[in-house]
Structure 1
Amino acid sequence: MYQQKQFFKKTRGGKILKVHREHYLRDDIVCGSLACTTCAHGDSTVLSSEAAQYLLIDTNVALHQMDLLENAAIADVIVPEVVLSEVQARNKAIHGRLRLLVADKSRRFFVFSNEHHKDTFVKTEKGEIVNDRNDRAIRRATTWYQSHLAGKTPDVLLLTNDADNARRARDEGAAAQTVYAYVQSRTDKPELLDFVARTGDTGGEAAGPSAEGDAGPQAKRRMLYAEHKGMAELTAGLQKGLFHQGKLRVNRFNCFEAYVGSQSVGKEILIQGREDLNRAVDGDVVAVELLPPEQWKGPEGGIFREHDEEEEGVAENAEEGAGLAPEIAEDAPGAALENLDIGKEGGRVPTGRVVGIIKRNWRNYAGSLEPMKGPGGSGAMAHPLFVSVDRRVPKIRIQTRQLANLADKRIIVAIDKWDRTSRYPEGHYIKTLGDIGDRATESELLLMENDINTRPFSQAVLNCLPPLPWSVSDADVAKPWRADLRNLRVCSVDPIGCRDIDDALHCTALPNGNFEIGVHIADVTNFVHPETPLDLEAADRGTSVYLVERRIDMLPKPLTEDICSLRADVDRLAFSVIWEMTPSADIVKSHYTKSIIRSSAALSYPEAQARMDDPHMSDPLTEDLRNLNRLAKIMRQRRTERGALTLASPEVKFEIDTETHNPLDVGMYQIREANQMIEEYMLLANVSVAEKILKHFPSCSLLRRHPVPTPQMFEPLLRTAAAVGIELDVGSSKALADSLDRAQGSDPYFNKLIRILATRCMTQAVYFCSGELSPPEYHHYGLASPLYTHFTSPIRRYADVVVHRLLAAALNLTPLPERTRDKKSMHDLSDGLNYRHRNAQMAGRASVELHTLIFFKDRAVDAEARIVKVRSNGFIVFVPKYGIEGPVYLTKKPDKGAGPDPNDDFVVDEEHQTITSKDKRQTYKVLDTVTVHIEVQEPQPHRPKLILTLASDSKEQDGFA
């Protein structure tokens, strides 16, 4: 049988058409229960006959209680089709998680096709909204199941977070409970209560007791925050210019200071203090109201010590301080840093307060519970505070019956709600990662915090791989468009121990005195085909992630370390860019081709450097390297003359114990000529390919740009340089490059330190679709190049995979995938790649910080450091030997019974970047050398950190503590 729907539709020409739509209903749709003797289930039977009860969930439960549903104690669950469809429309991430539960047969989640069953389909009544109709359909499905399974052992319980829906279900004769009531009834699993999300918008029963511990009604509780304005008022205020919209960016060293980038204001708006932040969390899209200009403030100028937050009346500057260790951002010349200083320190900037939340950015957070002073015995309900390892996140109040088990663990928590009467947001426990301080646990934590996908590759993905062992076939050789270059002397040069080798080079002297130079890149797209599970997984991961002790691959290891890796002495498929180049490094012509190569050597950077430096070595491969290096130096000099920046970053290298994976030693990473040589040819290949693909696909090429830093971003660098008598010109990248070359001090490291500080003024390089910007906006500031892309690392970057497809299409080798032709799709892809790229960098940085903590945990050392920034109560130092940066607090030893008062001890001259003791016995100036003592301490529970103090000899001599 079928139901017929009829409606009218207006065409573009103005005609009115009557449209008929048929909805077929069936009477053979199965219920999925093994207890049923009526339905002919076949393989679709998943609900156990031994279950005491089946749970039928509504949409709100699926959307808000997924952490509970994923618990192994929840099984035999009926998911109506209408719920699955509604979840898919409202939250694709939750829909994906629900589909995984359905696919896992051991969990016994059954999708019931209520929308096509003749007894459970419901028509939309006149004037009925979609949500009410769907709730009615869910209740109908519940009553049908109860009737269908009448007399059988399992009964059916409608699980809902909507108290009104539960009441209506009971009125219709169905058993129904809210989530909170159901979990309370599960006396066999009292820990389930920890997983319940207290959403606060679905009736009092679902939310459970007040997390703040107040017995009185909400109306009697003190209002701590202003009420968020509704969307209608926010929209009107934004249109009139009363409010300003932007994403909240919380200072990662001071959770009570944040900035909102606003196009309408033209500057970042400063938000300071708990009340003005008004329950906004880092990443939220917020509406901000500017304060009167006389109330504008400046960023905090001091270095703030970590201390415990009090329950009431806490100090606002509870964290370490603003702008101490800016976040890493990538740029081709070196790792750049995002500068956090807004305007001149001490100067006033536009200041505002949050009046509404436009879009929440709540996610899962990793951390630990703050030690509790009150009772929390086994099985008793406790309401501890959760402290995230991300210092930008406020403490979160949770409820748990597992306090004793969770006290020394790293756990995952989600935020459920944040009421006006609650000092802290309320959330729920999700899972335990492991013991606090355990290296594996802490490593998993940093990956989760940076949203790094560590799931094993699915079978569907692995099915896309060719069978092993794999080798180049006769069919590959026979393809007319794939050049056989196995006669060339090709080699690769990579870091020590590199197994995912995606680039190699050759250099052949030509009879006319020129050189043929080839960059050969692994032909990953020969194996990763568009829209396959392998391709979709790689696009989602975006990039490989390199941690201190391991690598998390974008592609499965058979591809990264075998089939695609350009290892020595095996035939491999490549995509080659070949130039004819004069001895003065002028390009005569360029050629692009798919190829077959056979690398003659897979060298490390030290090995390649040793060959070039050894006068006794004159074999052909060594001479090739010397020719490559000589030409690379010429190209590098030309780039510098065009204005390309030679910057620096404090990269460190760890020696890792092969058994424990703990660090044995740490030191600065050494850059050799061999490194710079390879970089030069990779840059040249990327620029050449960018030119080629843009010529053929001007509206959908994937390029990479590096925006020009704003003048404000250079202010910290200019202040520092002026304080030591150096004049820097930041009018252009060429002017900056030249003035950096002239910035020489008393020792060789002085110039490198200036370049590190300059790197921190840079914006972040980003991927973009060419059709979205004008050609002048394509410019890459750091490279002083009008065009740039990523082509040379397709094994570890999905952007390069896309560019390989663009280049292949430009050469008429393969058609361009449909998704790559679509500007909107390319925009979304670029955004995703930028997000994944940044997260991978932050995860790498967090891994370095973790292993630095582990290295210094059982050893305290003194080391030479440089002052890089002077603040009102101390200074920031950089320790070159270990690549460490951190604050040194200056406080005089107090008289007995008196507390330290930094403001009375020192005189700060911000213009000249000096800090002098009141007795004038000691003056510290930016870029001065000092000796610091490095050790690990725990100023807050479960938050170990490196503490830097002046070495004991300096402290005793100068009277500092």
Structure 2
Amino acid sequence: MSKKKDKKEKKAGKRMTKKELAKMLQDFFHAKQGEILSLKYIFEALKLTTHPLKMLCMDILSEMKEDDYITETEKHRYRLNTHGIEMTGVFQRKSNGKNSFLPDDGGEPIFIAERNSSHAMNNDRVRIAFYAKRRGKGAEGEVIEILQRANDTIVGTLEVNKGYAFLLTENRTLANDVFIPKDKLKGGKSGDKAVVKIVEWPERAKNPIGQVIDILGKAGENTAEMHAILAEYGLPYVYPASVEKAADRIPAEIPAEEIARREDFRDVTTFTIDPKDAKDFDDALSIRQLKNGLWEVGVHIADVTHYVPEGGIIDKEAEKRATSVYLVDRTIPMLPERLCNFICSLRPDEEKLAYSVIFNLNENAEVVDSRVVHTVIKSNRRFTYEEAQQVIETGQGDYKDEILQLNKLAKLLREKRFVAGAINFDRYEVKFEIDEKGKPVSVYFKISKDANKLIEEFMLLANRTVAERIGIVPKGKKPKVFPYRIHDLPDPDKLDNLAQFIARFGYKLRTTGSKADVSKSINHLLDDIQGKKEENLIETVSIRAMQKARYSTHNIGHYGLAFEYYTHFTSPIRRYPDMIVHRLLTKYLDQHGRTVSEKKYEALCGHCSEMEQVAANAERSSIKYKQVEFMTERLGQVYDGVISGVTEWGLYVELNENKCEGMVPIRDLDDDYYEFDEKNYCLRGRRTNRTYSLGDAITIRVARANLEKKQLDFALVD
């Protein structure tokens, strides 16, 4: 080793001034531009072996972060901030004027004051210029160009005056109402719900100018409000007539030559189990005992892609929608009704085309053999979940032997999943009984029972088997491009926060160790809280610690299910990714087809993940609307609840009786000046030291119900 190098090593290992180390760190980050560097790697690469040097390094990294020189992408992982004077990204508008800009490179959000927003709308793609950073303050910028409008339509209620009109917006992203010239009203009257397109926003004008493109109906009318929710999320509320016509031309009869090409399951006992209000039966199960004592279980899925050619008018519409949307009182289907409720739906006593995964299982529910084949089936019976549950509980009823055997196998499959480290979130769903006018008359909770779990287990098995068929390849071979359903490990920081939060209720959580160790610890926690008053709350906080599942061609496995390979194959009537999976599976299995473009399919996966999220938000919005509508008739009534959220503007409270959530605004906590303690999820009174914490039991009175804003206000009852 050269003396010069030896000296340098000694210097790094021994003493070094702050200035010298800061220079070394700067050079190091520039040499590794674009890479994410862990603290451990920095210590090793710069040979910072002593405790004082490591502490000094952390101080300097902290200052570099403060000066926006580097970004901490996650705990103790850093990257050089290479942004110059200008950046491109997405603009996010807030009605309080605290707008922000999310850079394309995934760095920290940048504050954009309203005066510097150039009237950019929510989710517009923009270019911004940076302002010089002030010490100790966040980065700030100004929009200099709007590159692409995200959505130039907005939903609200019309207020029509003599010479002009306004659209009053309940949208939380726009602080100003939209001005509408009289000749652009499209016949709209005061009190109408309308969709308005923003045509311009003059530089000095306070209000954008718009024109009405659709009248949805009177505010407060059920259909108008449901359509308004769909329009607000950019979702379609009508089906294009041209697509409906194309579906009407599809023949329902199955030609004899098509049946001859398929495996025939028409004489095997087969049935569907679905919610009582379902019309689109995606999946059916068949079961029979083989001569060798094994059980043959068929998971039969509607063969949608047989009827919907790729790139055709129906397919393009389905791709755009990417999913069916389930609002409280209606389904907005991905496919035209003729296909989803009639031709493709696996209705009883009708011959149907299916794409099936056939399993041979032994008495221990071990898969001895499986195959994926195109089939023709004929369902013997349509069960609702309640009917199938009755058979399981009483041992009596139609096809009792088959249902009881399937249930036995499903329970063994489920057990194995949890041993492997799957996470058991058994959430209940809040549902409304609705009258013919769409008015909510009562609330009930939908709980997952054995009949639901039976179906779930075989769908999971089919999805996993299909993913493994394509994903597992001989050593040295590259798997073909395929959409997987992936789920990443929980965020370590969020897991730590969860562990701290549950400690105050007396629970423990393991946050380090193998995947299985952590998930077993989470399951243990979920078992411990069963039936306790904090159950729903801790489940909610636990779910927040989890990542969201999504679609991708890059498989990283599914953490929550503890599967290394997983996809969506079992719901092609209502999910576009399943249609993609059916097509690629056919291509790869039948023709040993060449792989497809990764770039194209990754973009499709991204679109489907995004639309799934939009649909979930619209669904939540419709539930929220019905909750507020339900509580409007209960103003002044007193309820017990639990604090379900704590923010600087007030307390969110979930009522025990019906799970409706409302807010106690901070202005109504007038007995003290309350400070928000984010780390401990609580508000604390400065003078009295009184605290309101997440999970506390609380009694409230229903004070106000605002349907426009889908907002309930509660008042505390001492």
Bin of the TM-score, shorter chain as denominator length: 0.7 to 0.9
Task: Report the residue type matching 1:864 in the other structure.
Answer: D
1:528 matches 2:308: yes
Q: Structure 1 residue 260: deviation in Å?
A: 3.8
2:271 aligns with one of 468, 491, 501 = 491
1:560 matches 2:340: yes
Q: Matches of 2:337 and 2:158 in 1, distance apart?
A: 40
1:292 aligns with one of 133, 146, 160 = 133
Which residue of structure 1 lines up, in the alignment, with residue 142 of structure 2? 354
Contact 2:650 2:663 in 1 (8 A): yes
Task: Report the residue type matching 2:653 in the other structure.
Answer: V
What secondary structure sits across from 1:652 in the alignment? strand
Between 1:743-752 and 1:440-449, the stretch displaced more is 743-752
2:372 aligns with one of 568, 576, 592 = 592
Which residue of structure 2 lines up, in the alignment, with residue 698 of structure 1? 479
Q: Matches of 1:922 and 1:875 in 2, distance apart?
A: 14
What secondary structure sits across from 2:109 in the alignment? strand
Q: Matches of 1:507 and 1:654 in 2, distance apart?
A: 35
Q: Structure 1 residue 755: deviation in Å?
A: 1.8
Q: Matches of 2:310 and 2:188 in 1, distance apart?
A: 47
Q: Matches of 1:554 and 1:814 in 2, distance apart?
A: 30
Contact 2:661 2:712 in 1 (8 A): no
Q: Matches of 1:421 and 1:841 in 2, distance apart?
A: 37
Which residue of structure 1 lines up, in the alignment, with residue 235 of structure 2? 452
C-alpha distance after superposition, 1:860-909 (max 9, x if no partner) = 3433322133344642223354343332235568xxxxxx5x7x434655
1:280 matches 2:120: yes
Q: Structure 1 residue 608: deviation in Å?
A: 1.0
1:945 matches 2:685: no
Distance 1:730 1:406, change over 3 A: farther
Which residue of structure 1 lines up, in the alignment, with residue 618 of structure 2? 843
Contact 1:579 1:587 in 2 (8 A): yes
1:475 matches 2:318: no
Q: Structure 1 residue 522: deviation in Å?
A: 0.9
1:889 aligns with one of 632, 650, 665 = 665
Which residue of structure 2 lines up, in the alignment, with residue 930 of structure 1? 698
Contact 1:400 1:429 in 2 (8 A): no
Between 1:452-461 and 1:637-646, the stretch displaced more is 452-461
1:436 matches 2:212: no
Between 1:408-417 and 1:544-553, the stretch displaced more is 408-417
Q: Matches of 1:753 and 1:513 in 2, distance apart?
A: 47
Q: Matches of 1:431 and 1:473 in 2, distance apart?
A: 44
1:672 matches 2:449: yes
Gaps of 5+ in 2: 1-80
Q: Matches of 2:559 and 2:142 in 1, distance apart?
A: 35
Q: Structure 1 residue 577: deviation in Å?
A: 0.3
1:644 matches 2:422: yes
1:757 aligns with one of 541, 546, 550 = 541
Q: Matches of 2:264 and 2:157 in 1, distance apart?
A: 61
Contact 2:271 2:383 in 1 (8 A): yes
**Identical counterparts, % of pairs:** 29
What secondary structure sits across from 1:821 in the alignment? coil
1:409 matches 2:192: yes
Task: Report the residue type matching 1:646 in the other structure.
Answer: N
Task: Report the residue type matching 1:640 in the other structure.
Answer: F
1:799 aligns with one of 577, 593, 604 = 577
Contact 2:424 2:523 in 1 (8 A): no
Task: Report the residue type matching 1:945 in the other structure.
Answer: Q
Which residue of structure 2 lines up, in the alignment, with residue 571 of structure 1? 351
Which residue of structure 2 lines up, in the alignment, with residue 767 of structure 1? 551
Task: Report the residue type matching 1:866 in the other structure.
Answer: V
Distance 1:592 1:716, change over 3 A: same
Larger radius of gyration: 1
Which residue of structure 1 lines up, in the alignment, with residue 564 of structure 2? 786
| Structural mapping, 1:72-151, within 5 Å | none
Task: Report the residue type matching 2:522 in the other structure.
Answer: L
Contact 1:703 1:787 in 2 (8 A): yes
Which residue of structure 2 lines up, in the alignment, with residue 875 of structure 1? 651
Q: Structure 1 residue 496: deviation in Å?
A: 1.0
Q: Structure 1 residue 936: deviation in Å?
A: 4.6
Q: Structure 1 residue 519: deviation in Å?
A: 0.6
Distance 1:832 1:856, change over 3 A: same
Distance 1:656 1:505, change over 3 A: same
Contact 1:276 1:352 in 2 (8 A): no
C-alpha distance after superposition, 1:514-565 (max 9, x if no partner) = 3222211011122112222222222222222222212122222222122211
Task: Report the residue type matching 2:642 in the other structure.
Answer: R
| Structural mapping, 1:192-207, within 5 Å | none
Which residue of structure 2 lines up, in the alignment, with residue 343 of structure 1? none
Q: Structure 1 residue 833: deviation in Å?
A: 2.1
Contact 1:269 1:352 in 2 (8 A): no
Q: Matches of 1:463 and 1:618 in 2, distance apart?
A: 42
Contact 2:195 2:231 in 1 (8 A): no
Contact 2:159 2:191 in 1 (8 A): no
| Structural mapping, 1:624-643, within 5 Å | 624-643=402-421
Contact 2:194 2:217 in 1 (8 A): yes
C-alpha distance after superposition, 1:709-749 (max 9, x if no partner) = 43344465345324434333344653443333333359435
Between 1:459-468 and 1:792-801, the stretch displaced more is 459-468
Q: Structure 1 residue 806: deviation in Å?
A: 1.4
What secondary structure sits across from 2:479 in the alignment? coil
Distance 1:708 1:781, change over 3 A: same
Q: Matches of 1:751 and 1:831 in 2, distance apart?
A: 34
Distance 1:412 1:876, change over 3 A: same
TM-score (norm 2): 0.79
Q: Matches of 1:711 and 1:756 in 2, distance apart?
A: 17
Runs of 4 or more, structure 1, over 6 Å off, are 813-816
Q: Structure 1 residue 925: deviation in Å?
A: 2.8
Which residue of structure 1 lines up, in the alignment, with residue 673 of structure 2? 905
Distance 1:294 1:387, change over 3 A: farther
2:109 aligns with one of 236, 249, 269 = 269
Q: Matches of 2:324 and 2:649 in 1, distance apart?
A: 41
Q: Tell me how large the CA RMSD over aligned residues is.
A: 3.3
Q: Structure 1 residue 928: deviation in Å?
A: 1.8
Distance 1:459 1:408, change over 3 A: closer
1:855 aligns with one of 594, 609, 630 = 630
Q: Matches of 1:936 and 1:759 in 2, distance apart?
A: 30
Q: Matches of 2:202 and 2:517 in 1, distance apart?
A: 53
Task: Report the residue type matching 2:256 in the other structure.
Answer: D
Contact 2:100 2:109 in 1 (8 A): yes
Task: Report the residue type matching 1:246 in the other structure.
Answer: G
Which residue of structure 1 lines up, in the alignment, with residue 84 of structure 2? 241
Q: Matches of 2:624 and 2:120 in 1, distance apart?
A: 28
Contact 1:722 1:912 in 2 (8 A): no
What secondary structure sits across from 2:182 in the alignment? coil
Q: Structure 1 residue 487: deviation in Å?
A: 2.1
Task: Report the residue type matching 1:878 in the other structure.
Answer: E
Distance 1:420 1:824, change over 3 A: same
Which residue of structure 2 lines up, in the alignment, with residue 717 of structure 1? 498
| Structural mapping, 1:179-190, within 5 Å | none
C-alpha distance after superposition, 1:430-486 (max 9, x if no partner) = 343222212121111111122222333434653455666x3444323322xx11112
Q: Structure 1 residue 423: deviation in Å?
A: 3.7
C-alpha distance after superposition, 1:317-353 (max 9, x if no partner) = xxxxxxxxxxxxxxxxxxxxxxxxxxxxxxxxx5433
